[in-house]
C-alpha cells in the first residue's frame, strides 16, 4: 500500500492506496480543479455547497464515461457479429476500441475515487456544522443569562436611584428645618438681650 499526501482546496489529506502515487496525485488534482471551477463560477457558495456541486459535475462525467463505455462495448459486439474472423482493419479497430475502453475504465475508477473523497469531505463539513450549531446554542443560552443579569442590575440601579432621590428630598427638608430653627433661636436670643438691657 502507498501513502500519499494530497492537497484539495488548501487542506491536506493522507491517502493510503494500492495505486501508483502519481495516479493518486492526478486524481486529487482533478478533484481540486473541479472544486476550483465551481468556486470561481460562484464565489458566494460555501464549502459544503461547492463540494456537492463538484460531486455532481464529477458524477455527470462518470455517467457520460459509463455510457460511452457501454456504447463501445456494443460496437465491439457488433463488429464481432459482422465477422467471426475479423480482418486486419477490424483487428486494428478492435484494439483501438479496447485501448479506449481501458482508458475509460481508468477514468471511471478515478471518478469513483473522487466521489469517495467528496463524501468524506462532506461528512467532515457536516460534523463541523453540527459542532458549530452546538456552540451557537450554548452561546445563545449564555447570552440569555447575561441579559437576565443586566435586567436585574438595571432594576437594582433604578431602585437605588429612587432611594437616593427620596434621601435627597429628606435631606433638603431637614436642612430647611434646621435653618428655620437657627433663625428662631437667633430671634429669641435677640429678644432676650433686649429685655436684659431694659431691666
Residues 6 or more apart whose Cβ sits within 8 Å of residue 97:
72, 75, 76
pTM of the complete model: 0.38
Query: Which H helix or E strand runs over 104?
Result: helix 88-198
Contact 62, 111 (CB under 8 A): yes
User: How many Å separate Cα 53 from the centre of its chain?
Assistant: 17
In DSSP terms, 12 is beta-bridged to 7
Contact 38, 31 (CB under 8 A): no
Residuewise pLDDT in 10s, the chain (199 residues): 888 898 888 888 888 888 888 988 888 898 889 889 988 998 888 888 888 888 898 888 889 888 988 889 888 888 777 655 556 776 788 888 888 888 888 888 888 888 888 888 888 888 888 888 899 999 999 998 999 999 989 998 888 888 888 888 888 888 888 888 888 888 887 878 777 666 5
Rounded Cα distance, 15 and 120, in Å? 12
Amino acid at each position: 500500500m502507498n501513502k500519499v499526501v494530497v492537497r484539495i482546496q488548501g487542506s491536506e489529506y493522507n491517502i493510503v492506496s494500492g495505486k501508483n502515487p502519481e495516479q493518486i496525485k492526478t486524481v486529487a488534482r482533478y478533484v481540486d480543479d473541479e472544486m476550483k471551477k465551481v468556486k470561481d463560477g460562484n464565489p458566494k457558495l460555501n464549502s459544503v455547497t461547492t463540494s456537492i456541486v463538484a460531486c455532481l459535475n464529477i458524477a455527470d462525467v462518470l455517467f457520460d464515461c459509463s455510457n460511452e463505455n457501454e456504447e463501445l462495448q456494443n460496437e465491439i459486439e457488433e463488429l464481432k457479429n459482422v465477422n467471426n474472423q475479423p480482418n486486419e482493419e477490424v483487428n486494428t479497430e478492435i484494439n483501438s476500441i479496447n485501448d479506449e475502453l481501458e482508458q475509460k475504465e481508468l477514468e471511471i475508477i478515478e471518478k469513483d475515487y473522487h466521489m469517495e473523497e467528496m463524501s468524506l469531505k462532506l461528512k467532515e463539513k457536516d460534523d463541523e456544522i453540527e459542532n458549530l450549531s452546538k456552540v451557537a446554542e450554548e452561546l445563545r443560552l449564555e447570552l440569555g443569562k447575561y441579559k437576565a443579569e443586566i435586567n436585574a442590575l438595571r432594576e437594582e440601579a433604578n431602585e437605588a436611584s429612587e432611594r437616593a432621590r427620596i434621601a435627597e428630598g429628606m435631606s433638603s427638608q431637614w436642612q430647611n428645618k434646621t435653618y428655620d430653627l437657627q433663625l428662631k433661636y437667633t430671634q429669641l436670643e435677640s429678644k432676650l438681650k433686649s429685655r436684659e438691657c431694659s431691666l
